[in-house]
Structure 1
Amino acid sequence: METIAIIGTGRMGSLIARKIKDKYRILLVDKDIRRCGNLAKDIHSIATGNLEVIKDADYIILALPDRVIRDILPNINSFLKGHQIVINISTSTMKKDLLDKINYRQNLISVKIIGHYEEINLGEIPLIIIEETAKDEIKTKMIEIFSNIGIVLFGKEEDVEKVNTIAGEEAIKAAINIKKRLMEQNIKQEYWSIAIRNVASGTMKAFSSGDIGPFAKRVVEELEKKNSL
């Protein structure tokens, strides 16, 4: 069984670990030992705050925020071996920005996720974008790992940042506008969360799949008429 070290046990790191735990030996690395330990207990893996453990891994997934990932790379260099694949999943960290900070740069690959942690946990299937310029043998390995999480495609990592940013920004704008309009109508505050999390979220999902009801269809028609004027 191949071994995967996951550095960072936050939302995406823990999600990936849970999805692949039955097919790989998992090593969890995080400075938050309590969080790391709790996850390790749940999935029956090894938890540590020591980066040296990555020496035993075939693959190393960097599940870290942008501000952290750049700082940690120099610290893992002394433990890297030439056969290991280092996988960057940070949406806003591009491969080109990391090449001068890592040994064996030919084994660094970006694999990005189009999806929201909570929605994936609820069963929504994310898109997994594997860097299209990677070597074929590395692509094959990434497909084996990440097909356990979502639908795998080849593409540009920059596009993933654009998609996640635009979708996130527009969703927040929509939530703010819903709240504003409900306030203007003197709607009770306890209704707001359901309106956003249930009605708005469900309507967006239905619209994206072409499965909207009569009311939503009427709204679409009215908006299309208004925008065509």
Structure 2
Amino acid sequence: MKTLVLGAGRMGSSVIKYLASKDEILVYDRNEDKIEVLKKEFSLPIRLASFDDLFDTDYLFMVISADGVTGFLEEHIKELKPGATVVNMATALPNESFFTFKRYNKRVNLVQAKIIGHYKELELEPLVLFLEGDKKEQVADILRDWGKIYFMETDIVHQINGEAVKQAISAVEHMKGHIVHFRLPKDVETALLRNVLAGTLKAYAVNDVGPYFNNV
């Protein structure tokens, strides 16, 4: 089985590290330095892919922007290997847009894989992943050790992730308004927001608060 990851950015790096922990994979990114850094820093079995490799792979994990996925499929879906499975991981790409590409190449399988979470948390907490589409069971088997997998409508992930982001931004801005009169150094303000505010949100979410929380 030949697996290729398209995109070695923030989220792509997490996907690459997981998949490469299981077997050798191919990775394609226009910035080849990103791939070399991953290979050296984590000693991963990664091979640098050529653009042509994208059309001769069994599983193509697309970890790029929604516009990038759409643009690639518009131009190249007819060139993909028969029987290949394209796994889209761009949260903002809706089912209506993604699954439409099936009509242009019925021999290709399309799977939506949407993560509930922030890329910085993926290696700290077990992730939650929604899968939908052709061959979702096979993709689930590949990703089974990465976190909890649900066969559910993936479009809701964009909605609930977006709402969580809005609420988090609101909490940060509200907190900034409360502490502005302290005239704190920037690094102190950052520590307060990232360590205390964000840390309390995480602890409260899983009912793991300490005595200081109860006293407050």
TM over 0.5, shorter chain: yes
What SS does the aligned partner of 1:175 have? helix
In structure 2, C-alpha distance between the alignment counterparts of 1:24 and 1:51, rounded to whole Å: 21
SS in 2 for 1:43: coil
Counterpart-to-counterpart distance in 2, 1:4 and 1:164: 28
Aligned mates of 2:3, 2:60 — CA distance in 1:
6
Gaps of 5+ in 2: none
In structure 1, the residue matched to 2:30 is: 31
Task: Evaluate the alpha carbon distance shift between residue 106 and residue 178 of structure 1 in structure 2; reply closer, same or farther with a 3 A threshold.
Answer: same
Confirm or deny that 1:80 pairs with 2:46.
no
Contact 1:15 / 1:117 at 8 angstroms: preserved in 2?
yes
**1:181 to 2:183 alignment:** no
TM-score, normalised relative to structure 2: 0.88
Q: Which residue of 1 aligns with 2:89?
A: 89
> Residues 1-229 of structure 1 correspond to what in structure 2 (within 5 A)?
2-41=1-40, 42-48=43-49, 50-101=50-101, 103-104=105-106, 107-121=109-123, 123-131=124-132, 134-135=133-134, 138-217=135-214
Q: Contact between 1:95 and 1:109, CA under 8 Å: does it hold in 2?
A: no
Q: Which 4+ stretches in 1 moved above 4 angstroms?
A: none
Q: Which of the pair has more CA radius of gyration?
A: 1
Deviation digits for residues 42-85 of structure 1 (CA, Å, limit 9, x no counterpart): 4231113x321023321111111112111111343243122111
TM-score, structure 1 normalization = 0.83
1:15 maps to a residue whose letter is S
SS in 2 for 1:181: helix
> 1:3, 1:90 → 2: CA distance?
21
- Residue type of the alignment partner of 2:15: I
* Distance in 2 of aligned mates of 1:215 and 1:87: 44
Aligned length: 212
Q: CA deviation at 1:103?
A: 2.1
| Partner Cα separation in structure 2 for residue 51 and residue 81 of structure 1 | 13
- The one-letter amino acid paired with 2:109 is N
Moved more, 176-185 or 98-107: 98-107
Distance 1:118 1:36 in 2: 19
SS in structure 1 of the partner of residue 122 of structure 2: helix
**Pairwise CA RMSD of aligned residues?**
2.1
Equivalents in 2 of 1:157, 1:103: separation in Å? 22
| 2:82–2:107 Cα contact (<8 Å) kept | no
Amino acid at match of 1:62: M
The farther-off stretch of 32-41 and 195-204 is 32-41
The share of aligned pairs that are identical, in percent, is 26
Unaligned runs of 5+ in 1: 220-229
Per the TM alignment, residue 215 of structure 1 is displaced from its structure 2 partner at its CA by 4.6
